[in-house]
Amino acid sequence: MKASLSILDFGAVGDAKTDCTAAIQTALLKATEHEATVFVPAGVYLTSRLYLPAKVGLVGEPTWSFREFGGSILRLNDPSASCLLDLTSAKGSTVNGLCLDGQSLGQGIHGIGVDKPGFGESEEAFRIERCRISNFTGDGIHLNRIWCFSIRHNMVSHNEGNGINLHGWDGFILDNWLSGNRKAGFNTFDKNASITFTSNRVEWNRQAGIQVHGGGHYNFTGNYIDRSGGPGIAFLMRGDVPCRNMTATGNVIYRSGAPNWGELGENESVQMIADGAEGLVFGQNAMHAGRNDRASGEFSPDVSMILRRLKNSVITNNVMNDGSLKKLIVDLGEHGENVVIENNVGTLLET
Which three-class secondary structure string do you get for the chain? Answer: CCCEEEHHHHCCCCEEEEECHHHHHHHHHHHCCCCCEEEECCEEEEECCEECCCCCEEEECCCCCCCCCCCEEEEECCCCCCEEEECCCCCCCEEECCEEECCCCCCCCEEEEEECCCCCCCCCCEEEECCEEECCCCCCEEEEEEEEEEEECCEEECCCCCCEEEEEEEEEEECCEEECCCCCCEEEEEEEEEEEEECCEEECCCCCCEEEECCEEEEEECCEEECCCCCCEEEECECCECEEEEEEECCEEECCCCCCCCCCCCCCCEEEEEEEEEEEEEECCEEECEEEHHHEEEEECCEEEEEEEEECEEEECCEEEEEECCEEEEECCCCCCCEEEECCEEEECCC
Buried b (16+ CB within 10 A) or exposed e, 241-260: ebbbbbbbeebebbbbbbee
Q: Is the entire prediction scored with pTM above 0.75?
A: yes
The model's pLDDT over 113-164, given as tens digits with 9 standing for 90+, comes to 999 999 988 899 999 999 999 999 999 999 999 999 999 999 999 999 999 9
% of the chain with per-residue pLDDT over 70:
98
Model confidence at 1: pLDDT above 60: no
In 3D, which of 116, 60, 69, 70 has the Cα closest to residue 91? 116
Q: Please give the pLDDT value at position 121.
A: 87
Name beta bridge partners: 5.
38
Distance between CA atoms of 305 and 327, rounded to whole angstroms?
8
Residue ranges of the chain assigned to CATH 2.160.20.10: 1-183
Tell me if the domain spanning 1-183 has CATH number 2.160.20.10.
Answer: yes
Quick one: CA dihedral 235, 82, 58, 122, positive or negative?
positive
The confidence band for 260, taking pLDDT boundaries of 50, 70 and 90, is confident
Q: Please give the pLDDT value at position 261.
A: 77
The model's pLDDT over 46-70, given as tens digits with 9 standing for 90+, comes to 999 999 999 999 999 999 999 999 9
The model's pLDDT over 172-219, given as tens digits with 9 standing for 90+, comes to 999 999 999 999 999 998 999 999 999 999 999 999 999 999 999 999
Neighbours of 294 (CB within 10 A): 6
Q: What is the length of the chain?
A: 351
The model's pLDDT over 79-99, given as tens digits with 9 standing for 90+, comes to 999 999 999 999 999 999 999
